[in-house]
Structure 1
Amino acid sequence: MTTAPADITPYNLRQRIRAGEHTGNTSGYSQGFVQGNLVILPKDWANEFLQFCQRNPKPCPLVGMSSGPGKYLLPDLGENLDIRSDLPSYRIFRNGEMVEEVTDISDYWQDDLVTFVLGCSFSFEEALIADGLEVRNVTEGVNVPMYRTNIDCKPAGSFSGQMVVSMRPFKAADAIRSVQICTRFPSVHGAPVHLGDPSLIGIEDINRTDFGDPVTINSDELPVFWACGVTPQVALEQAKPPFCITHSPGCMLVTDVPNSKLAVL
C-alpha cells in the first residue's frame, strides 16, 4: 500500500527529499507536524535579522535556529535533520538578488552561516481542514497563492520591506471561523491580517500571484490574507547581504515538531 502524502512521517519525507525523490511543494504532506520557512545568513548579518523577526512576529515567527555558526544539523527540530539537503528546493541570493535555485546547498555551505527556521502557514491549514473548512490550494493540489503588499514591516538595522501574504478564499462565515482558529497559532502567523478587497493592501490583481499559484475564488467567497514567511525574502532584497539562502516558496522544511505544541489554548 502506498503511503498518502498526509501520512508520510517527517523523517521519511526528509529522506525522500534528500535522495531527490521529492522536489515539489510540501503543502499537505506529513500532516500534524510543523513546517518551516528558511533563512540562512552569514554570522555578521544574523543579529540584525533576529531583531527583524522579533519586531515582525506575524510574518517572521521564529520556531528554531542553529546552535551556532556553521551548524547544519538541527536536532531540536528533527531526527538527523540536515539543513543542507532536507528541503525540496532552495534559493541562492547574492547582494539581494536571487541567482539560482538548487535542491542541495552542501556545495554552498560556509562555516559562518547561521540558520533561522520560521513558522509556516501550512501548519495552520491542518487546523482549518480539521474544523471542516476547505483549503483551496490543498483541494486543487497547487502551491498557496502569495502576494506582495503595501503593509510595511518594522525595520531592524539593514532589514526592512513590505509584507508578503498568503491567501485562502472562504465564505463569510468560514472566514470568521478561520480567524478564530488561527488566533490559537501565533507561532505560525496567527490570525489573518486582512479580509476582502485586495486593493486595500496593494494587490492589484488577485489572479496574478507574486509567488505560488492562483486558486479558484467563487463569487460568494472572500479572499482571506495571512502574513507569510516569504516576507524575509523581500527584506533580503532590500538589505542586500552579500550571500544568503532561503527556501523556494512552498518548499518547506518539514520538522518532527507536532503542530499541537504551537497551539495556544
Structure 2
Amino acid sequence: MDDVSNSTVSATSTPREIRMAARAGRISSTTRGLARGFVQAGVVALPKDLANDFLAFCQKNPGPCPLIEVTETGRTGKCAADGDLRTDVPGYNLYRDGELVDQGHDIGMSYGKDLVWFAIGCSYSFEYLLEEAGIALKGLKEGHGNPLFVTKIMCERAGAFHGPMVVSMRPVPNEKVGLASCLSGKLPLGHGAPVHVGDPSLLGITDTGKPDYGMPVEIGEDEMPMFWACSVTPQAIAKERRLPLMITQRPGQMFLTDYKVLSMMV
C-alpha cells in the first residue's frame, strides 16, 4: 500500500482514533506527533518457539526493548482495551531468515494469526517530554526521523536473541543535555536515559554522517550528540541471526496505547 498523508488524524486525535484509522487502512505514514502525550509502541511478532526467548531478551535488555504488553492473540487487554497489534499499526515489515521480504498493512493478519505479539516502548514517547521542555529536535524539524546506528555494545543474550544494540542519535544544545537525560530517564517505557553522551567512537560509530538506518542529522558546534537505546535492535538481531520469521512495524509507524506519558513517568 502506498504511503498517504495522515489527513484524517492529528496531534489532538485520541489513541483509539489513530488505531481505528490504521485498522481501516486510512493512514500509512509516521505516527510521530499524533495523539500527543500518549505512549507509542513498536511491535514484534514471533513464532511460539521463539517467543519465550524474546520475552527473556526484553527482560534482560529493557533499554532497547522496554516491554509494554505480550499477547498470544494480538489483541491487547492492558495498554489499549480494544487494540489489536495485528491491525492497528499503519504498516508492517515481514522478515524471513533475517531478510526483509514484504511490507504492508495486511501482513499482520495474513501472517500473524499464530504468532505471539509484543508491544515494546518507542522513543516518540520521551520525545514528547523533550519538546514540552523546549528542547528542539532536528530530525523532527527537518521532516525525517533520527539517525540510527548499530553499536559495539552487545545486548545480554537470551536464547536465540543476541547481538549488538542499535541506538538513535539526537543532537541537543549543550546547556540542555542534563535536562534531556533527566526527563528521558523518568520514562523507562520510552527507553529511559541515554546510553551514551558525547564521543560516538566509544560506541563503535566511526561516522555520524553515515547512519545504518535513516537520514543523517548535523551536529552543531554548540550541540552534544546523545544516544538512546532503540527498539530497532530486535530487527537488527533478526537479520544477523537469520531468524526464520519475524513481523515488526515499519519504521516510524507505531501502535498508539491509551497510556499517558506523564502517568508512566517514575
What's the TM-score once normalised by structure 2's chain length? 0.92
Paired position in structure 2 for 1:261: 263
- CA shift, 1:207, in A, is 1.9
Does residue 92 (structure 1) correspond to residue 94 (structure 2)? The answer is yes
Query: What is the aligned counterpart of 2:15 among 2, 10, 17?
Result: 10
Decide which moves more: 118-127 or 22-31.
22-31
Superposition pairs of residues 72-151 of structure 1, within 5 angstroms: 72-105=74-107, 106-111=109-114, 113-151=115-153
SS at match of 1:163: strand
Q: Following TM superposition, by how much is the alpha carbon of 1:250 offset from its aligned partner in structure 2, in angstroms?
A: 1.5
* In structure 1, C-alpha distance between the alignment counterparts of 2:113 and 2:239, rounded to whole Å: 21
Partner residue in 1 for 2:178: 176
- How far apart, CA to CA, are the structure 1 residues paired with 2:102 and 2:65? 23
- 2:48 pairs with 35, 43, 47, which one? 43
Q: What is the CA–CA distance in structure 2 between the aligned matches of 1:126 and 1:14, rounded to whole Å? A: 19
Q: How far, CA to CA, are the matches of 1:185 and 1:233 in structure 2?
A: 23
4+ residue stretches of structure 1 with deviation over 4 A?
none
1:31 to 36, 47, 51: 36
Shift of 1:135: 1.8
Q: Compute the displacement of 1:58 (Å).
A: 0.7
Q: Judge conservation of contact 1:11–1:79 (CA < 8 Å) in 2.
A: no
**Unaligned segments of structure 1, at least 5 residues:** none
1:261 Cα shift?
Answer: 2.8
Q: 1:225 is matched with which residue? A: 227
Aligned residues with identical type, % of pairs: 44
* Aligned residue in 1 for 2:59: 54
1:77 maps to a residue whose letter is: C
Correspondence for 1:240 among 213, 222, 242: 242
TM-aligned CA deviation for residue 243 of structure 1: 1.3
Q: Is the 8 A contact 2:167 2:228 kept in 1?
A: yes
Is the 2:8–2:26 contact (alpha carbons within 8 Å) kept by the matching residues of 1?
Answer: no
SS at match of 1:133: coil
Q: Which amino acid aligns with 2:42?
A: N
Q: Aligned AA for 1:134?
A: A
- Residues 88/4 of structure 1: CA separation in 2 closer, same or farther (3 Å cut): closer
* 1:161 pairs with one of 128, 138, 163: 163
Whether the 8 Å CA contact 1:84–1:109 is kept in 2: the answer is yes
Deviation, 1:79, is: 4.0
Q: CA deviation at 1:194?
A: 1.0
User: Shift in Å at residue 241 of structure 1?
Assistant: 2.8
Quick one: distance in 1 between partners of 2:140 and 2:9? 14
